[in-house]
Chain A
Amino acid sequence: MSERQQDVALRCVHVEKSYPVQNELRVWRMLFGAEARGKMIHALRDISMSIPRGKIVGILGKNGAGKSTLLRVLGGVYQPTRGRVEAHGQIAGLFELGGMGNPHLTGREYATRYLRVMGAQQKDIPILLEDIQEFSELEEAFDHRVRTYSSGMGARLYFSTATALQNEIYLIDELLSVGDEHFQAKCWQRMRQRLLNGASGVLVTHDWTAVLKLCEQAHVIEQGRFVFSGPSDQVVVSYLKIRVPEATVARLSSCNLQSHVVHSGQDANILIWVDILEPAPVDLAISIETLRIGIGWEIVLLVNDIALAEQPGKYAVNVSISDLPLASGEYSLNLFLSRRKFAPQDATVIYDIRSWTIGNGYSLQVKGAVTSASAKLPYAVRRLGVEA
């Protein structure tokens, strides 16, 4: 094995996949080994990528873009029409998990069968089963038949089973969006832990927040082609394709500072210039977000519907946050000017945006001592029984 191969867990080169859709005489043609004919669907076109060891690469795409086909080709479920896939390690596919089991099996039987198929040692199986039962929180339902499970219970069983073994390569299809909030958090922790142990993976999803949280590098797939590849934040910008408003009614002035400095725990004042060009009820929404690619993305503060002004003019807008509850560090400051909503069903009219999601956000530097906590909550402490 060359040096190069050790660094790459999974690679695909010029992969194409197409299927015939019109099935006139298709079975006969297949039987006689003739080429498929008729209308073809080109699900994947010239896909090349490599997954470095220890990393998860994200693939963002809308329904029907070819995400799931790609994952199946990588997993060896489908043969590519052209090109090749090289895997250096055992692959665990976290897709269509429900489809592979017999619903008449109990959860325990399903897990046992899966572990055997994946080549687990007989002596390890009881320990793994215990782990699966505990992680899935199925408790006694683990011994009930899978067909009596709710979809959430099924998803918990499949995830717990597929990730019980430390595999080398994980292929993940939207899976981390199942279950309740608590179970999702557990799934994230388990995936992170598997990564720390050197696993690699591919995550296909339409949930760009998942890509930001788990992947450093990502691709956008559209109609079977990669249309953009790069660091996850840039990929998200490309995927979201949020139209930059023309800002004909109100705009965030171009003379605004690109970077603002404030201090943790102190009153923060940020000066923003806003031009209103036509009479309109202009509202401001503000979000402050952390963006640590591959580690975490988090909206820390979010406030909308702040009334600004109605009349045309140049305005100095003083944004103030008392006792700034942010820990020191780098944040992205995002501002949205929109038409005020007088009733919930009023249409959303956006006048101008500064946001990292369209690649033009401001940055916010919070100065202060480095803390272990991710926030600086205001509080008062005193001895019990002593009045304030």
Chain B
Amino acid sequence: MDSRITLHEVSKIFPVGGMSGQELFSTAAQTASTGDKIAVARVSLTIQHGERLGIIGRNGAGKSTLLHMIAGLSSPTSGSIEINGKVTSVMTLGVGLRDDLSGRENIYVDGEIQGKTRHEVEQVINQIIAFADLGEFIDFPVRTYSTGMKGRLAFSMISHIDPEILIIDEALSVGDATFSAKATTRIKEICARGKIVIIVSHGMQSVKDICNRCLWMENGHVVMDGSPEAVTKAYIDSVRAADEAQLMEKFRNFIGVRSMQDGWAVKQVEIFNGEPGEQRFLLEAGQPTRLEVRAVTPVGETDSGVHVRITRLDDLLIFDECFPAEAFRLCDQSIGLEIEMTPLVLGSAIYRLDVSLEAGATVCAESSSIFEVFAFNPPRGGKPMLLYPITALAIPTDSLDEVR
């Protein structure tokens, strides 16, 4: 029979309490007054055979709680879970391993726990050992293993006992790149045989690589359920928006607009980043970036200028240019200019953007804002001020003999 998991209105509520006296009134007062912690709130879900479900979300979103309930490690406060198939779970890789036994002995012990006979284990043990690729360590006690090695052994064990429903919590983050690739292939093989795999991960790439369905959880609710591409993109966008809000909140003292003289005002400063170009405070390095400034200055003031400065948070002035305001006067008599950096070459850091309107040396109006630059693939070995391409072309000139 095909595997299938059905969740109906599943909730999990943890009572908050157990704190005593003064503590309850001071630090814990906030949580206690709002009642118990709702970890999973009325989640209904059907998982069919062949589905590789990835669950993503911030810490505390309820991902692990949901997984624990499906694995039968805890029961829901309300609602029902129906499972067709035998569940094998790896909540924390390596936890089930017995430290004083060797890797090989652990495989036998685990096989028996999974209800396999010694003969059945012996049929697959060589595959397991080969897959884990631990070399001579397979006969050493598990306590001598690194975290990554334990993870490899545990994954090899569970993935070779023909699981029907496999649940993995953050497992693939251990092990190196080569092993992760092998594990991904293995998970796909398991799914191809009509089984179910559920993983919880913080790595968006691994969810995209492994899964064919993705669930985004927030505060115990399912926010989105769909293809890994769509859900991970929506999730990353939401995280970025939340990070931007946090950035703005943290630096609110730096942000502001002032007019010191009548008839002068910085009306709007906006930064657009990426294709097609959304207004952003969190900018991706290497993307086309455009800065739009709208301002008002008295018409005919010939020595008025728009002064744009970008200062890294540790007070390193990186961009400092002054543009004559009259050259950027629009039909409606206001000033509008755009500065384009294609691509953005600033390195990862937080920056302050100051735009001031000046008459000669007098500042008549100014505006300050904050933005942050991040890079997906920063160079190894340092954090450069600028992410700027350098190319090198080697032209052979002589034979080696002449070098010597």
A interface, CB within 8 angstroms of B: 144, 148, 181-182, 184-185, 188-189, 272, 274-277, 284-287, 296, 298-304, 306, 308-309, 311-322, 325, 343-345, 371-375, 377-385, 388
Provide 27 A-B residue pairs closer than 8 Å at the C-beta atoms, listed in order of the A residue: A144-B26, A181-B313, A181-B350, A284-B392, A301-B385, A301-B390, A303-B379, A303-B388, A304-B379, A304-B381, A306-B391, A311-B396, A313-B396, A314-B396, A316-B397, A317-B394, A319-B390, A371-B320, A372-B320, A373-B318, A375-B318, A377-B318, A377-B319, A377-B345, A381-B323, A383-B328, A385-B336
Q: Which 4 A-B pairs have the closest CB atoms?
A: A384-B336, A185-B314, A302-B384, A373-B320
Give the residue of B346, B392, B402 whose beta carbon is less than 8 angstroms from that of A317: B392
| Contact (Cβ within 8 A) B385 A181 | no
The answer to whether A379 touches B340, judged by C-beta atoms less than 8 angstroms apart, is yes
Do residues A314 and B390 form an inter-chain contact, with CB atoms below 8 A? no
Interface string of B328-356 (1 = CB under 8 A from A): 11100000111111100110011000000
B19 CB-CB contact with A under 8 Å: no
Question: Given contacts A181-B349, A303-B389, are A374 and B177 in contact (CB under 8 A)?
Answer: no
**B176 at interface by CB-CB < 8 Å:** yes
Assembly CA distance A277 to B399 (angstroms): 10
B100-143 vs A, CB cutoff 8 Å, 1 = contact: the mask equals 00000000000000000000000000000000000000000000
* Candidates B176, B349, B397; contact of A314 at CB < 8 Å: B397
- Cα A179 to Cα B346 in complex, Å, equals 23
The residue on B at minimum CB distance from A144 is B27
Q: Which residues of B contact A144 (CB under 8 A)?
A: 26-27
Q: Which of B351-404 contact A (CB under 8 A)?
A: 379-386, 388-400, 402-403
Of all chain A residues, the one with the shortest Cβ separation from B395 is A316
Q: Could you say which residues of chain A place their CB within 8 Å of the CB of B275? A: none
Determine the chain B residues whose CB is within 8 A of the CB of A277 once the complex forms.
400, 403
Known: A299-B383, A314-B397. 16 other contacts (CB 8 A): A181-B313, A274-B394, A275-B403, A277-B400, A277-B403, A304-B381, A314-B398, A316-B395, A320-B390, A325-B345, A373-B320, A375-B318, A377-B318, A381-B323, A381-B338, A384-B336
Tell which of B320, B323, B330, B384 touches A287, judged by Cβ atoms closer than 8 Å.
B384
Q: Which of B250, B386, B388, B396 contacts A315 (CB 8 A)?
A: B396
Residues of A close to B340: CB separation below 8 A: 379-382, 388
- Are A374's CB and B395's CB within 8 A? no
Chain A residues with Cβ below 8 Å from B382 are 287, 299, 302
Chain B residues whose C-beta falls within 8 Å of the C-beta of A318 in the assembled complex = 392-393, 395
Which residues of B come within 8 Å of A, CB atoms?
26-27, 176-178, 250-251, 292, 294, 309, 313-321, 323, 327-330, 336-342, 345-346, 349-350, 379-386, 388-400, 402-403
Picked from A182, A300, A314, A383, the residue with its CB within 8 Å of the CB of B403 is: A314
Chain A interface mostly helix, strand, loop or mixed?
strand
Does the CB pair A301–B397 fall under 8 Å?
Answer: no
For B330, give its contact among A378, A379, A384 (CB under 8 Å).
A384
| Most chain A beta carbons < 10 A, residue from B316, B384, B385 | B385
Flag if A343 contacts B336 (CB, 8 Å).
no
Chain A neighbourhood of B345, CB < 8 A: 325, 377-378
Min CB distance A375 to B, Å, is: 5
Distance in angstroms between the alpha carbons of A343 and B329 in the assembled complex: 54
Determine whether the beta carbon of B178 is less than 8 Å from that of A345: yes
A317 to B397, CA, bound (A): 10
* Bound-state Cα–Cα, A343 to B328, Å: 51
Query: Contacts A301-B384, A304-B379, A345-B176 hold; do A380 and B398 have CB atoms under 8 A apart?
Result: no
A306 with B390, Cβ < 8 A, contacts A185-B314, A316-B397 known: yes
User: Is B341 a contact of A377 with CB atoms below 8 Å?
Assistant: yes
Once the chains are docked, how many angstroms separate the CA of A125 from the CA of B315?
29
Report the nearest B residue to A137, measured CB to CB: B250
In the bound complex, residues from chain A placing their C-beta under 8 Å from that of B395 are: 315-318
Nearest B residue to A326, CB-CB: B386
CB atoms of B400 and A314 under 8 A apart: yes
Residue of A nearest to B378 (CB): A302
Given A313-B399, A345-B177, A385-B330, also A304-B380 (CB < 8 A): yes
- Asked if A299 contacts B384 (CB within 8 A), the reply is yes
Most buried by A among B250, B314, B345, B399: B314
CA distance A378 to B401 in the complex (A): 44
Contacts of B318 in A (CB 8 A): 373-375, 377
Closest to A303 in B: B390
A300 touching B384, Cβ below 8 Å: yes
Q: Please, which residues of chain A bring their CB within 8 A of the CB of B316? A: 296, 298, 374
Are A306 and B350 in touch, CB under 8 angstroms? no
User: Are the CB atoms of A383 and B313 closer together than 8 Å?
Assistant: no
What is the CA–CA distance of A181 and B399 in the complex, to the nearest angstrom? Answer: 51
A61 CB → nearest B CB, Å: 22
Q: Report the minimal beta-carbon distance from A327 to chain B, rounded to whole angstroms.
A: 9
CA distance A301 to B323 in the complex (A): 27
B306 to chain A, nearest CB (A): 9
B212 CB to nearest A CB, Å: 27
Give B342 Cβ to nearest chain A Cβ, in Å. 8
With a CB–CB cut-off of 8 A, which chain A residues contact B393?
A: 317-318, 320
What is the CB-to-nearest-CB distance from B54 to chain A, in angstroms, rounded to a whole number?
23
- A-side contacts of B177, CB under 8 Å: 343-345
Minimum C-beta distance from B353 to chain A (A):
13
| Known contacts A384-B336, A385-B330, A378 near B394 by CB under 8 Å | no
* Bound Cα distance A343, B350 (Å): 32
Cα A285 to Cα B330 with chains together (Å): 47
Expressed in whole angstroms, the Cα–Cα distance for A388 and B339 within the complex equals 11
Query: Interface centre among A301, A315, A371, A378, by most B CB within 10 Å?
Result: A301
Q: Which residues does chain A contribute within 8 Å of B176, judged by CB atoms?
A: 344-345
Contact A320 B392 (CB under 8 A): yes
Q: A318-B395, A343-B177, A373-B318 are in contact. Are A384 and B384 (CB under 8 A)?
A: no
Q: Which of B294, B394, B400 contacts A308 (CB 8 A)?
A: B394
Q: A181-B349, A381-B337 are in contact. Are A315 and B397 (CB under 8 A)?
A: yes
